[in-house]
Structure 1
Amino acid sequence: MSSRRLLRALLAVASAGATSMVVPVASAENAELASRFTLGVLPDTQFYSRYATPETGDLFQKRYGSRPYETQTAWLVENSDDLNMPFVTHLGDVVDQPNIPGEWAVADEAMKVLEEAGLNYSILPGNHDLYSDTPESEYSTTFPVSRAQQNETFQERFEKLDAESEYHIFEAEGQKFLVLALGWRAPQEALDWAQSVIDKHPDLPVILTSHEILNIDGDGEVFLSEDYGQHLWDDFISHNDQIFLTIGGHHHGAGHLVMQNDYGHDVINVLQDYQMAYQGGNGLLGLIQFDLTNGKVDMTALSPWVSRKPQETLNQFDHVLLEGADSWSVDMDFAHRFADFAPHFAAGEADDPDYAARAREIVTKGYQEPQIDPGQLPQNDQDYPVVEGTVAHWRPGQVTADGKKLGDGEAVPEGAVIPDVSGNGNDMKRAPLSTRGSVGAQLEDVTASSDKHELSSDTGSLVWANKNENDKGLSWFETAADAAANSETFEDGYTFETFVKISDDFDGDNHWMGAIAREGERGDVVEGIDEGQEPPAVLAVSSLRELQWSAVATSGDTAGTSNWSHEVPKDEWLHVAIVNNPETNTVEMFVNGAPILRDVIDSRGLASADAPWLMGAAMWDGDPTNPWNGAIGETRITHGALPKEKWLSARVHEDAQPQPGVSSHLSSQSSSSLLSSGSSGSSN
């Protein structure tokens, strides 16, 4: 047995203990035999590298007993023979912070799995892999030419700093293919080199990989990126007929776009980037099948890491396979497509099964879909755990004006009150429309609603109609200047909870919005802090639809830190919990009970500028800004790190009714809403 096959056998044995029940998929053996092979695709791995380091608490290993990057490369090695996979491509952003040696060490070990098994691969730098004007970079040090030469397919590298590019030639089904891997926004001299490569091999079909080619909008539509992809198409791809497939990442999401080049021939352009998915990508990778007999290119998006997570850790954000825009099929008559430059191109012997179906069988073998506990519906508006140490518990569903509870759809007048039901007197009132920053605001910008998260025992919520910060003035609620909650610093830790829904018309291109903030400026709390105009604490939604908890601690890292979620869906209620544990000095975020990836280490307490709490906007330079667009439900902050059974989503009444099935906010989240929509920004 060869050393390569022996290593794969050992890896297969090591992974044989994967979890549970088989998910039915189409059988590879039922497909008609054809000439087929596959190509492995590793999209942006930046967060896999970052959060597997000691500096970040090695969160993957700590939570799941494995790391996604290593699991991806090990799976590709284990199954490359079974999937007839001669080659793997990496799309760049190998790491997140290029000046952190530990991240490069993680990437080094993960890619070494391919090398030790003899599975050839290309790699290229993304924008997150570059950081200096020094004579060499960590990318070129970790992945030098000498390392690339370990691949039997390697031919040559263009070695300009920060634009390192390389090309490979691999053989499959009796035919040769050229892979051209272009470095970050390859400059003209790199494109000149790339052109010389194609000119030296005028009869080879070319697969071009680059970190950035396609972008994606909020509706999941993909298009050439204005910053680079359009230029690359116009000046290079379109007039090189040999390029029939391009693959890129950088912009968060997945999809494909078939375009005609200058010769009237199809070019399949692929976007695949899952860094904003749950757990920084959740181990998702691409498998592209080339069916030379039937003339098809098939993409399958799958996660070998999800299939190996401990069963008890799985939740509604875990998907072993993605469908829709993520997995697709495109017709391409290869012999006809390549006729002008490779007239002798022909399919190999028709003796291969459907490798896409086989990959699905492999990744789902022994896997059991998570059985999501949807929780129990509240029996009444008091069916929640009352917690000693509660500082404030605001219930927007019980908003009143002149002592009268507002009805569904009623506009909320100035001075309307969101009650603090903790008994501590921290009520919030709607700020007058004449207040700073509110010019242009209307009463009907905020309305009462009976809509709420089904696990909230409040009777409703408040809805803000702002489209973006430039459309209207701001409308917000705030505590009184002398409210007791204003000065609390929570040095014994805290648990902050809220229920929020992002409006379906949220526009990420024009909006960064705040839900709840602590007023004042963090620069008044900590001297010399960066961006001192920021508030001491704020729950916000970024233009990429990430939930952000940004706060200044009272001890530990007081420079201002942020928890970031994965990309969350629009028009669906979310329960958000932020837990500061004083014993570990950590701040963890949970979305619908699932732990997010980018948490905070070395942080305790919540600094105060002795200013009010605010709902419906963020703060900047002492004034409200970035208005909320959507709904906000009940919100509570308590002393101490609360376990889940004490959260507002938990029940206390024994006669509370189980939900009649997995609740809609858990079951209706498709891969497209969680992974591929609303993200038109660059990699962050």
Structure 2
Amino acid sequence: MCSPLHQPDGPLVPGSSRRTFLRATGLAGAATATAATGLASAATPAAALPQQVAPHNAPDNVASWRPDTDSPRFTVVVMPDTQYLFDGASINSAPVEASLRYILDHGRDENIVFLSHLGDLTENGQPGEFGPLSKAFDLLDRRRVGYSVVAGNHDIKSSTDDQRGRTPYLDAFGPQRLRRLPTFGGATPDGYNTYHLFRAAGREWLVLALDWRPSAAGLAWARDVIAEHPKTPVILTTHELVYADNSGDEAEFSAHGKHLWDELIAGHDQIFLTLNGHYWPAARTTRRNDAGHDVHLHITNYQNRYYGGSAMIRLYRFDLARNTIDVETISPWILGRAGDRLNELERREIEMTGSQDLFSVPLDFERRFAGFAPVPARGPRPAAKMLVPGTVAYWRFDGSHQSGSPGDAALRVPDLSGHRNDLMREAVPGSPAETLRWSDSHHPDQPGHGSLYFDGSKPPLRGAYLRTANGAPLNAKTFRSGYTVEAFLRLPADWDAGRHAWGAVLGRRGTLGAGGKTEGDPDEPLLTLSVSDGPGLQWAAAPLNQPGLVTNWGHELERETWWHVAVVNDGRHTTMYVDGCPVARNPATRTTGLATLGLPWLVGGYEYGGVLDRLMHGWLGDIRIVERALPVRDFMIA
């Protein structure tokens, strides 16, 4: 409820952007249920403040609430202290309704999965204050939108804990109401502590909603709930936990917050994020728990802002694909009327853009959750399962080889497709055997759990490579009906453009000039999948129907990271994919087949003018060539 500098309940603690207005065009649903009249000035009498103009039972012309539970991106909405909007005879539900309608209107495009109210719903905890707020939340009840609430010190008698008995708060928002929602998990016998479960990003998440002052029994119950869901990440919500004295300060524990940390949070690794209101200004901090992992502790409360904070909401946009939580704070009530004449204070508060209101939290979810929910490593897959129809060559570098041992002169890698396109080792004269060696390193989704490390460089040219035998069936293939070429690769930390650029993952002997191509450098090879000086991937191949090379370019690759590349031709166009995603620079040029002189294919080597010129520096994993276009779902990483 309060700032540490303003404590009406006694001592509780120690010692507009352009994007904003663009967003407003999508908030008509929120605006229809709220006041459409702007405030003339900050000095407008209370009786003239905007009032709700639509009845609570107005029809909700919104789509049903159906979150996408498999998408790696989802949103949790947080609503802090709304008490000044429900204060005795001063009641205005419109801002809260606008925020709740935002959830309904944007549930699909934001993939909103849950709402958490952080307490101090009302100023005095009286039935007459809870009644209008309860009606507003009917909007979510009718759509069965999952949400949680907690009691703040203004909702109940602040000197009591969760054994206080029946209250207007409990009558309005107790388990008897919440259990009708699909996300409700359970509650303490007293009803003041609840937990909630939702599915998002393909897994279960738990919201633990704790009372203003949970008793010892309440904390024991919380521990039991976590123990009953041992692999579930937990977001803890409560009214008081951390605070900051001044804007920009790092948040610190209140006395009660330190009690919760010591008794519950620190010892339970599943709790990775805590959310609380009560104090202002907004702030955050990160603390290490007993397992040595980060716990993010955030306070959000805007009741000190204009119009009691106008029921601002905070959007926690989880993005597991980017390992980030993007946080934004907005007022749907003001945004919904942005096309009207807003007063000066409203224009300031359409959205909050300070560093504690609009920010991102980098979070490697898999690593953070590994202590209690490790993702099992994908096991190797039999070579036979990789032989999709049309496979003409498949090489992998796993087996009984000792990691780090050299690939000697007798090295031969069999073609597991059965088409006799085996690979044999070749080396630059004078290069030590260690320039080609076996490795256990592999892409996490690679079928074969092994690779070869190519330690090539120039100048001087040194290293080793592999090639198909003269007369191997693959040498003569022209792939008129299409093809898919796949490979796994990883570049080491010491990869340097000056010494290692243009080392090839895969190539074909024979020059453009010898192949009768009339455009481009006649000494360039007919085909190469190389690592450019970016480093990025380049597929440069001479189709049957073009007078020179047609080139696909990938983006810059991070070193010390395994990548999967696929080049797919459907008989008309060629598309490069990196980790199953199409790159930007895929030319629209019509490309049919691949020109050939019937000469060997190279793995890890690049020729210029018919002479070995560059060698791979890095790891290569499984390589597969298929004489048809494969969809992404059939790539080796699928």
Q: Which TM bucket (shorter chain)?
A: 0.3 to 0.5
TM-score by length of 2: 0.46
Q: Higher relative CO (CA 8 A, sep ≥ 6), structure 1 or 2? A: 1
Structure with greater Cα Rg? 2
TM-score by length of 1: 0.43
